[in-house]
């Protein structure tokens, strides 16, 4: 069975058409810089045993336009791999926030869509894009079963001492204010890949997902998430493309009371104007890396702040796990930015983490799991390409077959 997977992020839309019986990818692509200048789609497909690729530079003002363009590519005589849209029987959607009720993969119904909509305040950058993807998919592929795979589901193994906040209990019992965590599909996938690569089933791991959104996860020897850096919403934790990450709540009160900012203005600043963008003027790590190597002081500070925050969480999660077997870098920045990995792992020999700088550079952009630790490093340092799409396809297949 062929399943189309849609992974709509805040400024990107990844897709793959996957044969779940073989794991083969018939077509895949990435729409980048949605809502920004320089947007484009790179579409790859396999036909008659030949691999093909086409890059299309065009204006992508929003996710709806991006999705419609992708749909046309899949059925086009030149770039398509299916005869008609009816050939696709199921579509799996990455959905960032499922709240406390949706802890498992769900077939999309009007009730599920309404729940995703109600949770937009908790994931303001992603849940709207996820809904747009679902609604557009229903129109483009009306005969397909739509399935939602929630990023929050993997983290429901966290113990109460980790997911509760130290606020009056009624806010948890009545309003469900707690840590949910995100990027669960990615954390789960790379952990399982690391376990296979190291041939170790009782692996203690710290997974580091670094994209435009970023989070870390402590995974115990049972393969369970026991801590994660994002919280009630995806704003907490690491510094991200446009999000501040952890911030003293007193700053929010100060902005409101002393600077006369509305809550909407504060939310917009912390979610959409902060992080890399706030420090350097760009939320694209490739732009920031270029500026860093040119000696730009803002880019240098950004890298220092970004990796300092990662190191703080590595230390905390090593303590939570009572030791760690492996550190895993993944996602766009984690897989492709050697400088981030080097700075994140530097001066951590006291925790048994020692990076091999030459291997870190030479094994950048890996296609398979690679090790970049020094020979004397007790902790393995892995770079593993995430494949949230395959994980989503497999979970989709489980509920529709």
**Active site (catalytic) residues:** 151
- Whether residue 14 is annotated as binding a ligand: the answer is yes
Can you read off the two tokens belonging to residue 92? 């799996």
CB 67 within 8 A of CB 74: no
The two beta strands, 380-383 and 370-371, are: antiparallel
Q: Which two tokens stand for residue 102?
A: 């949706």
Q: Is 356 one of the annotated binding-site residues? A: no
* Residue 7 labeled ligand binder: yes
Say which DSSP state 156 is in.
Answer: G
Residue among 391, 395, 392 nearest 93 (CA): 392
- Per residue in 277-289, is it b (16+ CB within 10 Å) or e — as a string? bbbbebbbbeebb
Among all chains, which residue has been given the structure tokens 């170790």? 200
Q: Is 97 annotated as a binding residue?
A: no
Q: Is 323 annotated as a binding residue?
A: no
Measured between alpha carbons, how far is 126 from 274 in angstroms, rounded to an integer?
16
181 annotated as a binding-site residue: no
Q: Is 281 annotated as a binding residue?
A: no
| 286 assigned ligand-binding residue | yes
> Is 285 marked within a binding site?
yes
User: 146 and 93 in contact (C-beta within 8 Å)?
Assistant: yes
Say if CB 21 and CB 394 are below 8 A apart: no
Q: Where are any strands of DSSP class E within 232-290? A: none
| Sheet hosting strand 380-383, strand order edge to edge | 225-228, 214-219, 205-210, 326-330, 380-383, 370-371
- What distance in Å separates the CA atoms of residue 196 and residue 323, rounded to the nearest whole number? 20
Residue 45 and residue 52 in contact, taking contact as beta carbons nearer than 8 Å:
yes
The answer on whether 33 is annotated among ligand-binding residues is no
| Measured distance CA(41)–CA(322) in Å, rounded | 44
Q: Is 212 annotated as a binding residue?
A: yes
Is 94 annotated as ligand-binding?
Answer: yes
Summarize the annotated binding site as residue ranges.
7, 14, 94, 209-213, 284-286, 332-336, 388
Summarize the annotated binding site for ATP as residue ranges.
14, 209-213, 284-286, 332-336
Summarize the annotated binding site for Mg(2+) as residue ranges.
7, 388
Summarize the annotated binding site for substrate as residue ranges.
94
């Amino acid at each position: 069975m062929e399943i189309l997977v849609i992974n709509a992020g805040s400024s990107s839309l990844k897709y793959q058409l996957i044969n779940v019986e073989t794991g083969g990818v018939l077509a895949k692509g990435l729409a980048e810089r949605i809502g920004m200048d320089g947007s484009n789609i790179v579409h790859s497909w396999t036909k008659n045993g030949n691999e093909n690729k086409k890059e299309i530079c065009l204006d992508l003002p929003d996710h709806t336009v991006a999705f419609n363009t992708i749909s046309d590519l899949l059925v086009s005589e030149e770039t398509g791999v299916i005869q008609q849209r009816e050939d696709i029987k199921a579509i799996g959607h990455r959905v960032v926030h499922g709240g406390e009720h949706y802890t498992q993969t769900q077939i999309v119904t009007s009730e599920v869509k309404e729940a995703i909509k109600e949770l937009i305040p908790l994931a303001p950058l992603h849940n709207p894009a996820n809904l747009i993807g679902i609604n557009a998919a229903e129109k483009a592929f009306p005969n397909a079963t739509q399935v939602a795979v929630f990023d929050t589901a993997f983290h429901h193994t966290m113990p109460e001492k980790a997911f509760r906040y130290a606020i009056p209990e009624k806010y948890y019992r009545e309003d469900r204010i707690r840590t949910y965590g995100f990027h669960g599909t990615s954390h789960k996938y790379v952990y399982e890949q690391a376990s296979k690569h190291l041939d170790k089933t009782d692996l203690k791991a710290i997974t580091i997902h670094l994209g435009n959104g970023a989070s870390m996860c402590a995974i115990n020897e049972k393969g369970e998430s026991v801590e994660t850096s994002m919280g009630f919403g995806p704003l907490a934790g690491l510094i991200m493309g446009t999000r501040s990450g952890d911030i003293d709540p007193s700053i929010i009160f100060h902005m409101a009371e002393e600077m006369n900012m509305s809550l909407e203005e504060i939310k917009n600043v912390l979610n959409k104007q902060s992080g890399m963008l706030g420090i350097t003027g760009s939320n694209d790590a490739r732009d920031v890396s270029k500026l860093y190597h040119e000696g730009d002081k803002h880019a240098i500070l950004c890298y220092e702040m970004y990796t300092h925050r990662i190191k703080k969480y590595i230390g905390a999660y090593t303590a939570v796990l009572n030791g760690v077997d492996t550190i895993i870098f993944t996602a766009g920045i984690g897989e492709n930015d050697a400088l981030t990995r080097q700075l994140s792992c530097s001066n951590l020999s006291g925790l048994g983490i020692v990076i091999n700088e030459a291997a870190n550079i030479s094994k950048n952009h890996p296609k398979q799991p690679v090790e970049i630790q020094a020979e004397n490093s007790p902790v393995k340092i892995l770079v593993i390409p995430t494949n949230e799409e395959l994980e989503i396809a497999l979970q989709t297949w489980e509920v529709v077959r």
